Chains A and B, each alone.
Chain A
Amino acid sequence: MSKGELAIIGSGEVPCGYYPDRKMLEIASLVGYKAIKDAGINKNQIDAVIGQMAILDGDWNTEVTFGRLPEALGLKNCKNTQLVSGGGGSSHAVRKAAAGLLLTGAAEMVLIIHAQKFSDFTPGQQAEGFAKAGCDPEWEIPYGMNFNALGGMIAERYMYETGTTPEEIAAVSVSHRKWAQLQDNAMFKKDLAIEQVLKAKMVATPYTTLMCNVLADGGSAFIMTTAERAKKLVPKPVYLLGEGSRFSHRNLTKCADLTRMVNEPPALDAYKMAGLGPEDMDIAQVYGAYPANILMFFEAMGFAKRGEGGKAFLRGDTWPGGRIPTCTNSEAMSFGHTGTGVGTALLVESVRQLQGKAGRAQVPGARFLIENCGGGAWMDTHMAILGNEIS
């Protein structure tokens, strides 16, 4: 893909949270419908559908693999459908799959759908499922490794090396919650104070319950096409301007530097490709799932020096109206964690922001933003620069 060659023209989303009565096909149908209506196109203009893999839900993944999505939405001209996963990096993986279809001429208009319903599983199944997903079955799971502990081990080392304080860690949860209050679809909307975050029950040191994300039901969808077609279809296409990716590890023990990982090189690649820098960004859409990871990505994106990210969050630089609005959909910790969909939720929020459709959370005049996603136990990092004009 070269700069500004591909664009997103519409998006859809359902509220995130605990919705036991809403089945997977209902979520998928709703978000698909909303994205099609939002883009203002006819459903039969879509000729490829990508379903993003759901966590724990083999039945749903089979349904998607066997063509449920194009049939359910009546996409009469569909030529291709597939199930795609990059784990937490899926919002990148589905874009790349769509880019392949679009740039080889296999498709002209691709609909991407994500749905997840964690309420179909018990808390024990979720804990075990995420332990299995994030941790090594031979070398980690027998010791009781779990996802919150993985996050905690990164945070302990990051705080040790940078001097970041518990208050600065808690400030990430507080900043997210400011945005959640402006997001109708967010799961947790009550305002938080630093003290409250620190005094909440300890989960995995240094993280309390209010520093951990909560698994939730939700889903989102978007429509991707070539920039050329996009310009004829919608007033404000959102262009893909720059990208960068790195893979690091499967097991965290194979990540040489837990406090840097491979976060900065893909950010530099993405800025270079877009011909833009951190100073040009109106928003930072950071997917970290835990506070220390948010700070590490925020710093790698160039919005604070190493170890200074927490101070920026504490000062309110990242809040609505701040210097660099960050995680405007309130991210996994407040919006809710929908498995492979956290990055997708940030992506559709990015699209809304750049199309001027972000409602109460709208950052006035937003033109460019940087977003990231990654999968596994922070196995990889994908950075992307999006804009509503070609830089």
Chain B
Amino acid sequence: MSLDYNKPLPKPQKWSQEFWNGTKINKLLLKKCKECGHLDFPPYMFCTECMSPESEWVESTGKGIIYSFSTTYLGAPPAFIKGQPYTLIFVDLEEGVRILSKIVDCEVTDVKIGMKVEAVFDAVTEDTTLVMFRPVK
């Protein structure tokens, strides 16, 4: 955690606040429709399948596989330039939703499609904890 964290932070919506409340206690929560059971990531106000306003939050195992990745060496947005190179990944979670994140605890040149990863939580400020992923050992 750092007081001088200068990177852009998520500004949660009313219906996504619970996701960010979850990350603060190291839980990866997914919005599930109470009517049709559909999991929405990113979450929206209404279920994107059946438009129901009724939903609940279910905890993900945080485990998944890398669907694709790209390592940024140059041209990152200003706040991220110091952190180059870094690898962005699309993770297909076991629950069937795809999430964008960054890989940690892994050499950027070792990242591969199909690699098994698990969620780790990075409390970047007092109010915000981001979800990163690391390779499953």
Contact B11 A144 (CB under 8 A): no
Could you say which residues of chain A place their CB within 8 Å of the CB of B97? 253
Contact A145 B88 (CB under 8 A): yes
Please report which residues of chain B, range 9-37, place their CB below 8 angstroms from some CB of chain A when the two chains form the complex. 9-13, 16
Contacting residue for A138 out of B13, B76, B90, CB 8 A: B13
Contacting residue for A203 out of B10, B67, B74, B102, CB 8 A: B74
Q: Which bucket holds chain A's interface residue count?
A: 35 or more
Contact A138 B12 (CB under 8 A): yes
Among A136, A139, A203: residue with most chain B CB under 10 A:
A139
Contact B11 A160 (CB under 8 A): no
Contact A141 B90 (CB under 8 A): no
Please report which residues of chain B, range 93-137, place their CB below 8 angstroms from some CB of chain A when the two chains form the complex. 97-102, 113, 128, 130
Contact B68 A146 (CB under 8 A): no
Contact A146 B13 (CB under 8 A): no
Contacting residue for A153 out of B69, B75, B76, CB 8 A: B69
Interface 0/1 of A200-234, CB less than 8 Å to B: 01111111010010000000000000000000000
Interface 0/1 of A139-157, CB less than 8 Å to B: 1111111101111111111
Among B42, B67, B68, B130: residue with most chain A CB under 10 A:
B68
Contacting residue for B71 out of A140, A151, A201, A204, CB 8 A: A204
Contact A138 B74 (CB under 8 A): no
The residue on A at minimum CB distance from B92 is A253
Q: Give, as a whole number of angstroms, the nearest-CB distance from A21 to chain B.
A: 26
Q: Given that A138-B10, A141-B8 are known contacts, is A204 also in contact with B72, CB under 8 Å in the complex?
A: yes
Contact B11 A154 (CB under 8 A): no
Q: Give, as a whole number of angstroms, the nearest-CB distance from A22 to chain B.
A: 25
CA distance A154 to B70 in the complex (A): 9
Could you say which residues of chain B place their CB within 8 Å of the CB of A137? 8, 10-11
Could you say which residues of chain A place their CB within 8 Å of the CB of B8? 137, 141-142
Q: Given that A153-B88, A253-B41 are known contacts, is A127 also in contact with B68, CB under 8 Å in the complex?
A: no
Could you say which residues of chain B place their CB within 8 Å of the CB of A128? 77-78
Contact A252 B90 (CB under 8 A): yes
Q: Given that A137-B11, A253-B98 are known contacts, is A144 also in contact with B80, CB under 8 Å in the complex?
A: yes
Contact A204 B75 (CB under 8 A): yes
Contact B99 A253 (CB under 8 A): yes
Contact A144 B70 (CB under 8 A): no
Contact B69 A203 (CB under 8 A): no
Contact A148 B11 (CB under 8 A): no
CA distance A212 to B75 in the complex (A): 11
Interface assignment of A131: CB less than 8 Å from any CB of chain B: yes
Contact A144 B42 (CB under 8 A): no
A-B contact count (CB 8 A): 121
Q: Give, as a whole number of angstroms, the nearest-CB distance from A153 to chain B.
A: 4
Contact B86 A145 (CB under 8 A): no
Interface assignment of A124: CB less than 8 Å from any CB of chain B: yes
Contacting residue for A146 out of B7, B69, B76, CB 8 A: B76
Q: Given that A142-B7, A144-B102, A157-B68 are known contacts, is A202 also in contact with B74, CB under 8 Å in the complex?
A: yes
Interface assignment of A391: CB less than 8 Å from any CB of chain B: no
Q: Given that A138-B11, A145-B88, A153-B90 are known contacts, is A127 also in contact with B100, CB under 8 Å in the complex?
A: no
CA distance A338 to B72 in the complex (A): 23
Contacting residue for B77 out of A146, A204, A207, CB 8 A: A146
Interface assignment of A258: CB less than 8 Å from any CB of chain B: yes
Interface assignment of B46: CB less than 8 Å from any CB of chain A: no
CA distance A251 to B48 in the complex (A): 14
Q: Give, as a whole number of angstroms, the nearest-CB distance from B30 to chain A.
A: 13
CA distance A124 to B79 in the complex (A): 9
Please report which residues of chain A, range 238-280, place their CB below 8 angstroms from some CB of chain B when the two chains form the complex. 251-254, 258
The residue on A at minimum CB distance from B97 is A253
CA distance A337 to B65 in the complex (A): 34
CA distance A157 to B79 in the complex (A): 27
The residue on A at minimum CB distance from B71 is A205
Contact A251 B100 (CB under 8 A): yes
Contact B77 A138 (CB under 8 A): no
CA distance A45 to B121 in the complex (A): 63
Could you say which residues of chain A place their CB within 8 Å of the CB of B102? 143-144
CA distance A251 to B97 in the complex (A): 13
CA distance A146 to B67 in the complex (A): 18
A-B contact pairs, 14 of them (CB 8 A): A124-B78, A139-B10, A142-B7, A142-B9, A145-B88, A152-B71, A153-B70, A154-B68, A204-B72, A205-B69, A205-B71, A209-B74, A212-B75, A254-B42
Additional A-B contact list (10), CB under 8 Å, known A138-B13, A144-B76, A207-B70: A138-B12, A146-B80, A150-B70, A153-B68, A156-B69, A157-B68, A202-B71, A203-B73, A204-B74, A212-B75
